[in-house]
Amino acid sequence: MGASRTKVAVIDPSGRLLGHAVKKSGIDFSVTAAACLDAALEMAGASREDIVRAVSTGYGRGNVAFVTEKSKTEIGCLAKGCYHYFPEAITVIDIGGQDNKIINLDAAGRRSSFKMNRKCAAGTGAFLEEMASRLDISLEEMNGLARQSQEMIKLGSYCTVFSATEVLESIRNGKRVPDIVKGLFYSVIKRVLEMDILSGQVVMTGGVVACNPYIVEMAEEMIGRPVLLPELPQLAGAVGAALYALDDKPETA
C-alpha cells in the first residue's frame, strides 16, 4: 500500500508472478487494497480462498487486516523483490510517490544500508505531480514530452516550492514545455544522487520509473553506466512482500 499507488502481486510457490494490479491508493486504503487484491487474483485465475499467506508493505501496511497482519517495510520488500530478479550485490533506487530510497544489498542479498529522502517532496513522484499540474499537463504525457526536448532547462533549487517558481519563470519567459519537463526529470535524478554513493550494480524501481522510461535513460547517462530494471518496476515491492510470504520468515508484527 504505497502513499500514492497500491500494488498487489500474486505468486505461486515457485515464485512465479501469476497476477498483479496497480491502483491509486486514494482516501480509503482498505477499499483500494481489496479492489486491487481482487483484480490481481482474477488475473491469476484465483480467489481469496486460495491465498495461503500474505504480507503487506508500504505506508498503508497496517490497513489491510482483512487479508494479513504480517508486514514488512517497503525497504525490506524492495530489497527482496529486486534481489529476486538480480541476485548479486545491487544498489536499488526506488522513486515512489511519497519518497525515494536507496538500498544497498550485498552479494547474499542482505541489506547493508539504506537511505530515505529528507522530509520534503523534492525528487519524488509527488514533485512531478505538482509540476504537471503547474504545466497543465497529465502525468502520462510527461515521458513523451521530455523525449522531445531540445534544450533542457535545469532547475536550481532542491525545494519543491522554489522549483515551482522556477517553472513559472520559464513559462513566463516562453520556454518550451518539453524542455521544462526534461529539466524536471533531471531534477528528480539529481535529488536521488545527492542521497548516497551508488556502489553496486544499479537497479531502479517505482512508479515514476515505470511510467517514465526516459528517466532511466537519463539516469544511465548521468551515472555513466547501465541501469537494470525488473520486468515490472512498479511491482518490485509487492513482489518482495509476496516472496516474504513465501518464505514465511519471522515477521515484525
Q: Is 212 near other proteins (CB under 8 A)? A: no
Distances (CA, A) of 237 to 96, 98, 107, 187: 11, 14, 19, 24
Reading phi first (left if > 0) and then psi (alpha if -120 to 50, else beta), residue 180 is in: alpha
Shortest Å distance, C-beta 241 to other proteins: 13
Tell me which stretch binds other proteins (CB under 8 A): 62-70, 126-134, 167-175, 207-215.
62-70
Question: Of residues 5, 74, 146, 235, which one binds other proteins by CB under 8 A?
Answer: 74
Nearer CB in complex with other proteins: 65/168: 65
Nearer CB in complex with other proteins: 4/71: 71
| Cα 25 to Cα 64: distance, rounded to the nearest angstrom | 12
Question: Of residues 20, 61, 84, 191, which one binds other proteins by CB under 8 A?
Answer: 61
Question: Of residues 15, 26, 45, 62, which one binds other proteins by CB under 8 A?
Answer: 62
Shortest Å distance, C-beta 123 to other proteins: 14
DSSP state of 16: -
Q: Contacts for 166-171 with beta carbons within 8 Å, 24 or more apart?
A: 167/131, 167/134, 167/135, 168/134, 171/134, 171/135
CB-based contact 167:187 (threshold 8 Å) = no
CA 148 to chain centroid, in Å, comes to 24
CB-based contact 72:14 (threshold 8 Å) = no
Residues 87-106 as x/- pattern, contact with other proteins by CB under 8 A:
------------x-------
Shortest Å distance, C-beta 112 to other proteins: 7
Shortest Å distance, C-beta 114 to other proteins: 6
Residue 250: all three cell numbers together:
519471522
Which residues contact other proteins by CB under 8 A?
59, 61-62, 65, 69, 71-76, 99, 110-114, 116, 118-119, 252-253
